[in-house]
Amino acid sequence: MSKAFASQADLTEKTVTFERLSDHAWAYTAEGDPNTGIIIGDDAVMVIDTQATPVMAQDVIRRIREVTDRPIRYVVLSHYHAVRVLGASAYGAEHIIASEDTYDLIVERGEADKASEIGRFPRLFRAVESVPPGLTWPTMTFSGRLRLWLGKLEVQVLQLGRGHTKGDTVVWLPGERVCFSGDLVEFDATPYAGDSYYEDWPATLDRVAALGAEKLVPGRGPALKTPETVRAAIEGTRAFVSELYTAVKAGVAAGEDLKAVYRRTYDALKPKYGHWVIFDHCMPFDVSRAYDLAQGHRDPRIWTAERDLEMWRALEGTAPQSGEIA
């Protein structure tokens, strides 16, 4: 039986957890849906990743307001993907922060990514009509490291290397050993690697590990509250991207076409990772990107709604017509 396109069959609402991780750090998670991180400083609030629409962001704001009335002054975009950024307008933040590489990706492919992701994730773009026209643009960009102070609380916004995208950003509370990783790290959730740099990702994860986080909010999955679970998440993410890329490289070296490589890689990874959230959604995109990279295409090609459907039909046999995507 052919699979439903991407996450179009995933219509079950998830239970939200809003929990305190340290004196200043909170996590908003929802059973494998995209996470949002919150830092409540002495004089302001920072939100890391926004949810996909302003209406969905209102639930984050409601929970923040249950614990503080301090202004939401900063929004940090861990990367450019629409599901992470299109809710930003709801917060009324003075500053929207992203890496310079993320800014460049928004310029290059933001519109295409927006259309692509809305088609893939109908449930995650609830009330999509609430998204303002245009794209979410950073008001402050950085390269390498940006240090901010929320009163006496030091917050570091770090670009540790390429992985999930070339603009990946993590937020680090050095005084509390809490890390917000974005989609560089997942836990019990399949890494999406359609825009990734497989060859860089493991070394970037080494740098995340070197921070020595005792608690970590991954891009998807529950908040991690011990050093042991933090290590497990980093190691699990590294294992998935390494094993997938190794399998795809072997197929390319053997002269196999994309569909043959996809079927063999899917079958190889399914027993170990098939229970992870969005496994079936991610695998066609992940293998397609790995296949391109193994053939020498260093930078990811742009995903459009049309390219999504063409790829899915080629690898899975069917997909809705573009006019059927809400």
Q: Read out DSSP for 303-319?
A: P-HHHHHHHHHHHHS--
- Segment (H or E) for 161: none
CA-nearest of 59, 60, 16 to 37 is: 60
Q: What pLDDT band is residue 123 in, cutting at 50, 70 and 90?
A: confident
226 pLDDT higher than 50: yes
177: left (phi over 0), alpha (psi -120 to 50) or beta: left
Amino acid at 219: G
Q: What is the mean pLDDT of residues 305-321?
A: 85
Q: What is the mean pLDDT of residues 73-78?
A: 98
Domain 17-324 in CATH 2.40.37.10? The answer is: no
27 pLDDT higher than 80: yes
- For 20, the 3-state DSSP assignment is strand
The per-residue pLDDT for range 136-173, each reduced to its tens digit, is 999 999 999 999 999 999 999 999 999 999 999 999 99
Helix 305-316 × helix 258-273 angle, to 10° = 80
Predicted TM-score (pTM) of this structure? 0.94
CA-nearest of 77, 81, 119 to 281 is: 119
CA-CA distance, 241 to 95, in Å (whole number)?
Answer: 33
